[in-house]
Amino acid sequence: MPTQDAPLLATAVFVLFLAAATDSMAVEAKAQPWSSATQMAEAAQALIATLEPARREQVVFPMDAATRSNWSNLPTVMVEPPGLMIGAMSDAQRQATHDLLRASLSSQGYAKVTSVMRLEDLLREIDAAELAGQPENEETQLRRAFIQTYDYGNYAVALFGEPGSEQWGWKLAGHHAAANFTVSNDRVAFTPTFLGSAPMVVLEGRFAGLMALPHEGGRGIDLMRSLTAAQQQIARIAPEVAPDVFEAAGRKASLQQYEGIKASEFSADQMRLLQALVEEYVGNAEFDAAEAQLEAIRQAGWGELRFSWRGPVDPVGRFYYRVHGPRLLIEYNRQDANHDHTVMRDPQNDYGEDWLGRHIEEHHPSMEEAMENARRRASAVQPE
C-alpha cells in the first residue's frame, strides 16, 4: 500500500540520483581527452620524454620557481629567457614543442605565434641589408649584436611542475612573443600573452603583404570610428600616442585605474565591435580555455569594460588603445608605422594566481640594465 511518505521518498531518491549523475558527469568532463588541459599535459609529457637529462634540467622547473613569471619581449641580446632555445633542440624536440603549442592554442593563435617567430628571420635579413657597408664602430657593432639574435631559433621553452598534475604550467618566450600557460585542476589560464610584429606588414620581396597580426590594429580602429564625436571625446585620453604598452613584462598590475568610455554606453553595433576585438585576443587560446575566459568576462559584465585611446585615429599611423575591466586587460600600441606591440592580461588571474591562491610577482631588468647586457654581448660579436 502506498504511504504518505512515498512521494517524499521518491523525491529524495531522485535528488540523490541526480547528484550522483552530476558528480559522474563532472568527473567525465574533467577526463575528456579533447580538453586543452588534457592535450597540453600529454604534449608536455611527450616533450619531456625527448629530453636528455642535461636538457631536462634546462627545461623543467618547480611550479613555484620565480622564473615562471619572469619573461621578456625584448631581443634575447638584451634579456635571455630561461629554458631551452628552439635553435638548440633536436628535430624531435622541435616537433614536440609545436605539438605543445597546438595543444595550447587555437588555429588562429598558433598561426599568429609561429608567424611572429618566423618574422625574426625576415627582420634579420632586412636589418642586415641596411647595415651592410656602414663603417665599423661601436654603434654598428651593437646593432649587429641585435641583428644576430633575430632568429626563429631564439625562443625558449620552459615547463613548471609536473605536466598532468593538479597544478603545472609552461611558457614560450623570446622577441615579440611570450605566452604563459597555467593548468590548475583542469582549468587553463593563458595570460599574460605578449605578441608584437616587426615588420607589421612586409613591404617588399616575395612575402610582400604578409602580416603576422592582421586584425589587432584594425579592430581598434573600427571600434573607435564607430563612436560618436561625444563618445570619442571621452575615449581619447591624449592626442599623443603612448611610448609602448603600459603593462609589458615586469609591469603586472601597474594600471590600477580604469580610463576611457564605459562599454555600457555603447550601442548594440558598438558592443558587437568591442566583442569582436576582445575575441581577436581571447580566441588565440584553445576553444575551451577561450570560452571559459569569455564567460569570466561576461560574469564580470561586458558593460564594465572600458575603452580608451591615445593618438590620432589613423589606420596607417601611430596610435594606442586599451580595453580594461575586472577580468581583462588588452593593450595595443603602434610603435611606429610598421611595428606594433600587444599584451593581454587577466587582472584577477594572471599565471592562474587566483586559482593557485597566491600572489605572483613579476621581475624584469630595467631598460638600462637590458641595454648594458646588450653592450656587453656586443663586444664579443664579430663582423659576419
Encode pLDDT of 182-241 as tens digits: 999 999 999 999 999 999 999 999 999 999 999 999 999 999 999 999 999 999 999 999
The residues near 40 (Cβ < 8 Å, ≥ 6 apart) are: 100, 103, 104, 163, 170, 181, 183, 188
Q: What is the pLDDT of residue 382?
A: 62
- pLDDT tens per residue across span 85-128: 999 999 999 999 999 999 999 999 999 999 999 999 999 999 99
What is the rounded average pLDDT for all residues in the chain?
92
Domain residues for the domain of 66 are 30-191+359-384
Q: Which residues contact 295 (CB under 8 A, 6 or more apart)?
A: none
C-alpha cell at 25: 558527469
CA distance 307 to 245: 14
Residue 219 contacts by C-beta under 8 Å, 6 or more apart in sequence? 273, 276, 277, 280
Is there a cis peptide before residue 81, judged by omega within 30 degrees of 0? no
Q: Give yes or no for residue 9 having a pLDDT over 70.
A: no
> Is residue 9 domain-resident?
no
Considering the domain architecture, whether residues 262 and 377 belong to the same structural domain is answered as no
Indicate whether 151 and 116 sit together in one domain: yes
Domain match, 321 and 381 both: no
Indicate the helix (H) or strand (E) that contains 180: strand 177-184
Q: Is the dihedral of CA 41, 46, 49, 55 positive or negative?
A: negative
C-alpha cell recorded at residue 86: 628552439
Does residue 14 form part of some domain? no
76 and 178 share a domain? yes
Q: Which residue has the cell 605536466?
A: 163
Rg (CA), the chain: 24
Asked whether residue 13 is domain-assigned, the answer is no
Averaged pLDDT, 332-340: 97
Q: Is the residue at 5 inside a domain? A: no
Percentage of the chain modeled with pLDDT above 70 = 91
Residue at 298 is within a domain:
yes
How many structural domains does the chain have?
2
Which residues, including other chains, have CB under 8 Å from residue 241's CB and lie 6 or more apart? Answer: 310, 311, 312, 318, 319, 320, 333, 334
Q: Cα separation of 100 and 170, whole Å? A: 9
State how beta strands 60-61 and 155-160 pair: parallel
Instruction: Kindly report the pTM of this predicted structure.
Output: 0.91
Helices (H) and strands (E) in the chain, counts: 12, 13
- Domain membership of residue 207 (yes or no) is no
Write out the three cell numbers for 235. Answer: 575615449
273 and 134 both lie in a single domain: no
